[in-house]
Amino acid sequence: MSNTIIVGLQWGDEGKGKIVDYLTERSDVVARAQGGSNAGHTVISGGTKYILHLIPSGILWPEKKCVIGNGVVIDPLGLLKEMEKLRSQGVHISPENLLISEHAHLTMPYHCSLDKAREARRGVNAIGTTGRGIGPTYADKIERQGLRVTDLRDPDKLTHEITWRAALHNQELESAGFEKVNVEEVVAQIVAAAELLRPHIANTVVYLNEALAEGKMVLFEGAQGSYLDIDHGTYPFVTSSNTTAGGACTGSGVSPRKIDKVIGVAKAYTTRVGGGPFVTENEAISDMLHNMGREYGATTGRARRCGWLDAVLLNYAVMVNGCDEIAITNLDGLDGLDEIKICRAYLLDGKEINHPPATIPELERCEPVYETHQGWKQDLSGLTNAADLPPLAKTYLNRLAELAGARVSLLGIGPAREQTLVVD
Ligand code: GDP
Ligand code: IMO
Ligand code: MG
């Protein structure tokens, strides 16, 4: 195994958690480098379903080390709840196997309130955020007024640092007609949380680089997807971090020169949760998948919008991330279809284009140019070898790889760890 970045190639929920869990066996350290508890990564192992928000999916492997890197925004209360839930499911978590970057910024209760207030202010243009305080936390970071994990070390100073920030943000909440946070309550909650999290705090930049120097293998677990990237996504319907491969380096303090491989993860179709343009959105596909009990969000429980595979997006994301390989998940979601479509280009104002345009009005005017493939009409979920895939499934995957511009190396044919096939 080499030092590998795992990134989502669509709008998140591509199945990154499952792929990271699968690849953890051959890694030593698993690191998150961006995003926060907006992420919801579902992993099914040994028949148990685990949902990870802030903690890397590698935590399910007892002997592996996990790092929450400097680029992540950490909600201390949410993190403690997540630790508690995982522990109740039998997962071992200690300062030995979970390190939290002292440089990471903290999401505070007032960030979550601000997230909701700012969404309300946007009205019909609401982004459809997860309400986890992500945008306001990154805004404070960039404004250079954020609180960081290292601030949890000194309770007296922490009280002062929280108090003035909470008072400042309460002004905005009040003027927006939203309930102010109770400053004393917030201080009490965070000071108590700091006590529990302190043993996990470390300089994870040094930790990761020393691990690499010792020849350990690091897996970088991306959160969200390329089209939620603050620079490369469908702005402003995006999240507030760099979800693409570069974000793994800045968000962990590991040089790009130490990265051996980038694996992009995509579903065999497309989904999106929240607002924003979606060229291949299709009601029939949404209904079909929802009727199968699939495509409900792991963080908010919202029904995901669904549509055909969009190879225009896939190809561009493979370029931006420099993917060496792609992992296609949820291939089994297409098992019952007579015909399967792939969007190979967009028609914008009568002209065929191959890259997504920059603006929302243009994206909304794009019409998908589809090619139609015959469905394989076979239950793939029990397969154990990619060589046994029906020929029509192989044709679909070969064409997908050709359009995406990268080879398919892994396939998901069900949610469980063992429902992962290696493609030679
Ligand atoms: P992530 O955020 O990228 O980790 O993805 P999520 O876990 O939010 O969403 C992916 C969903 O698809 C979850 O419910 C997974 O359990 C499920 N899943 C992942 N891979 C496969 C697959 O190959 N087949 C099926 N049926 N489900 C899958
Ligand atoms: P994982 O890691 C899918 C979406 C939200 C919203 C937009 C901004 O599970 O793939 P935010 O709360 O980040 O300010 O919301 O981004 N979003 C996700 N969609 N999967 C995710 O993470 C997401 N994280 C954020 O729905 O449209
Ligand atoms: Mg998810």
What pLDDT band is residue 20 in, cutting at 50, 70 and 90? very high
Check: CB of residue 290 under 8 Å from CB of residue 303. Answer: yes
Is 41 part of the annotated catalytic residue set?
yes
Is 166 found in the same domain as 21? no
388 and 415 in one domain?
Answer: yes
Number of domains in the chain: 3
Q: Band the pLDDT of 1: cuts 50, 70, 90.
A: low
Q: What is the CATH number for 175?
A: 1.10.300.10
Ligand nearest to the CA of 328: 1
Boundary of a domain, candidates 262, 279, 301: 262
Ligand 1 center–CA 197 separation, angstroms: 29
Looking at ligand 1, which atom is closest to the CA of residue 44? 16
Is the CB of 42 within 6 Å of ligand 1? Answer: yes
DSSP secondary structure letters along 274-290: SSS--TTB-HHHHHHHH
Tens-place pLDDT, residues 41-83: 999 999 999 999 999 999 999 999 999 999 999 999 999 999 9
The ligand 1 atom nearest the CA atom of 419: 23
Residue range(s) defining the domain that contains residue 41: 4-101+200-262
- Summarize the confidence of residues 123-146 as an average pLDDT: 97
Cα separation, 331 vs 137, whole angstroms: 36
Q: How many angstroms separate the alpha carbon of residue 343 from the centre of ligand 3?
A: 23
**Same domain for 111 and 227:** no
- H/E/C letters for each residue in 358-413? CCHHHHHHCEEEEEEEECCCCCCCCCCCHHHCCHHHHHHHHHHHHHHCCEEEEEEC
421 DSSP β-pair partners: 411
> How distant is the alpha carbon of residue 296 from its chain centre?
15
Distance (Å, whole) CA 27 – CA 5:
12
Among 42, 59, 60, say which to mutate for ligand 1: greatest number of ligand atoms within 8 Å of CB: 42
Catalytic residue among 41, 105, 169, 373, which?
Answer: 41
**CATH no. for residue 279?**
3.90.170.10
Which residues, chain by chain, have CB under 5 Å from ion ligand 3? 13, 40, 298
For residue 380, which ligand has an atom nearest its CA?
1
Question: Is residue 150 left, alpha or beta, with left meaning phi > 0 and alpha meaning psi from -120 to 50?
Answer: alpha
* 173 and 222 share one domain: no
CA 272 to ligand 1 center in whole angstroms: 13
Which ligand is nearest to the Cα of residue 21, counting in written order?
1
The kind and range of the H/E element at 344 are strand 339-348
DSSP string, 40-54: -EEEEETTEEEEESS
Could you report the per-residue pLDDT of 269-328, keeping only the tens digit for each?
Answer: 999 999 999 999 999 999 999 999 899 987 888 899 999 999 999 999 999 999 999 999
Exposure pattern of 16-43 as b/e (b: 16+ CB <10 Å)?
bbbbbbbbbeebbbbbbbbbbbbbbbbb
Q: What is the pLDDT of residues 328-367, one digit of tens each?
A: 999 999 999 999 999 999 999 999 999 999 999 999 999 9
pLDDT for 56 equals 98
Where is the domain boundary, 145, 176, 197? 197
| Domain end among 178, 197, 216 | 197
252, 277: one domain = no
Residue 18 Cβ < 6 Å to ligand 1? yes
Q: Are residues 186 and 212 in the same domain?
A: no
- Ligand 2 site, CB within 6 A: 8, 11-13, 38-41, 127-130, 132, 134-135, 223-225, 228, 239-240, 273-274
How many angstroms separate the CA atoms of 9 and 175, rounded? 39
One domain for residues 294 and 403: yes
Active site residue 13: yes
CB 415 within 8 A of CB 44: yes
Compute the half-sphere exposure of residue 234: CA atoms within 13 Å on the CB side of its CA. Answer: 25
Structure token pair of residue 320: 């931006």
In the reported structure, the alpha carbon of residue 421 is separated from the centroid of ligand 2 by a whole-number distance in angstroms of 27
Contact status, residue 415 vs residue 382, Cβ threshold 8 Å = no
Q: What is the pTM of this model?
A: 0.97
Q: Assign residue 61 a region: left if phi > 0, alpha if psi is -120 to 50, beta otherwise?
A: beta
Q: Which residues contact 111 (CB under 8 A, 6 or more apart)?
A: 133, 134, 136, 137, 140, 169
83 CA distance to ligand 2 middle (Å): 21
| Residue 330 CB less than 6 A away from ligand 1 | yes
Which atom of ligand 2 sits closest to the CA of residue 115? 14
- 299 and 397 within one domain: yes
The rounded distance, in Å, linking the Cα atoms of 68 and 56 is 7
Pair of tokens at residue 304: 């995901």
Q: What is the mean pLDDT of residues 401-420?
A: 97
264 phi and psi angles, rounded to 5 deg: -90, 140
CATH of the domain at 82: 3.40.440.10
Q: What is the DSSP string of 202-259?
A: E-HHHHHHHHHHTT--EEEE--S-GGG-TTTSSTTSS-SS--SHHHHHHTTT--GGG-
Quick one: which ligand is closest to 44's CA? 1
Distance between Cα 212 and ligand 2 center (Å)? 30
- 312 and 216, same structural domain? no
Coil, helix or strand at residue 127: coil
| 205 and 277 belong to one structural domain | no
